[in-house]
Amino acid sequence: MFGPTAMSVEFEKFREVLDSRYSQDDIALIERAFEYAKEAHTGQVRVTGEPYFAHSSTVAAKLADLKLPSEVIAAGILHDVPEDTARTIDDISREFGEDIASMVGAVTKLGKVKYRGEDRYAENLRKMFVAMAQDVRVIFIKFADRMHNMETLYALEEKKRVRIAKEVLEIYAPIANRLGMGEYRGLFEDYAFKYLQPKEYSWTQHLLEERVKKFGPAMERALKNVDFELRKSGVQGVELHGRVKHCYSLHRKLLRYKSDISKVYDIVALRILVKDIPACYAALGILHGLYTPLPGRIKDYIAQPKPNGYQSLHTSVFDDQGSVLEFQIRTHQMHEETEYGVAAHWRYKESGTTPNERQVRWMEELAQIQKELSTTDFMQHLNELKLDMFSDRIFVFTPRGDVIDLPEHSTPIDLAYAIHSEIGNKAVQTRINGEIASLDTPLKSGDLCEIIVDRNRQLPNEDWLNFVKTRHAREKIKDALRGNKPGLWSSLMKHVR
């Protein structure tokens, strides 16, 4: 049995990131993993010149910052041991148990997701999706690993930097978004942006700095005024702090507004954290009594959360000197879930909470899709999969009150096939928010959409392939037409995207 005889200086320093929610048994497990991995990596050096174990301990610290259970932190410390040292998965299983070994093994199987030819890259992505669907804790370890790689990306040659940055922007950041992990998404995007578009990154960063300087005094005044008013009114659990928009997020908004920064109100924002949901709405009322709200700028993501689980109240106001200030109001729990997403559900082992079903269902769907495709087909469909699974999402209500999660710009036909293939095949008309609309109308979050069917209809309309957005709808339409009109299939190939 391996075990340290005395706490090392390195672990003493690492222990500072472990807060009071970790028990003595938790700390003992993490220490054993720490010393085991440190010994296994002895003599190994990273490209940066640091000891290799510095990477392992940094990954573990990032997992500890997420307040994940000790087993996940231990697996993070050990994640490179089987791949880069003489120790095996069986060794780790004997020393730390099957659960930790399973996580380490899953991370190891993911390998280094690199473009070593399309077949190798596609197969690595397939493994990542399957591993995520089987145990989402694995992706937390992979995220922490990739985040530290991005922090030290400067040490690699330019070709590798660009390749890794592209992977992060196209795969890791969108996955973080779907898991509701806002902080990781923002950091992934900014690191990738820095290496993929360095000039645009520098320009956007300069704009951010100038905006913070301009609005800094107004923010300081507002922090003091709002804090005083909320506490005077007896709002419970008040905590205020500022937030600066991530560079890449600002860059994308500026593209939409043709670089007119005056149309972007949320470059800097004030966050108000309170005890519970009633306090959120009370704070909003107090805020609007203090400052004049901008018409049309109030968004209630508490009553109608975003598909990835995001909840908050947003409002923009004029302060007493005419500056426009953005406020976000949420509970402390909402804030944790906004920053850490699905990871927040593992922060307290004793809580017994499980991830939001919509947040992880797409992983299972994605794993199923990739199992049905050959490696070649998977690579050919990768862009389609990314658009379908990783795009910004909307939520649409059915007349029965069900909430359907769809990619942005989806149509009533996409909704119909998401409900059932027969609903899609027999659709003839739709009502959106009570009004008759065409079947190619782009849906928006919060729409109430009713699909009107003709039970005598046998086949979908071939022209639907020109506007449907989801892979699921497209495949169901093609299957129906192919199955009923064998001679028609060749003419449909022009619709394949």
Asked about 83 being catalytic, the answer comes back as: yes
Check 10, 26, 39, 83 and give the catalytic one.
Answer: 83
Task: Report strand pairing: 324-331 vs 313-318.
Answer: antiparallel
Check 10, 39, 84, 319 and give the catalytic one.
Answer: 84
Asked about 189 being catalytic, the answer comes back as: no
Q: What is the rounded end-to-end Cα distance, in angstroms, of the chain?
A: 57
CA pair distance 255, 187, nearest whole angstrom: 20
Structure tokens at 103: 């996580």
Q: ∠ CA(284), CA(292), CA(227), 5° rounding?
A: 50
- Looking at the annotation, which residues are catalytic? 83-84
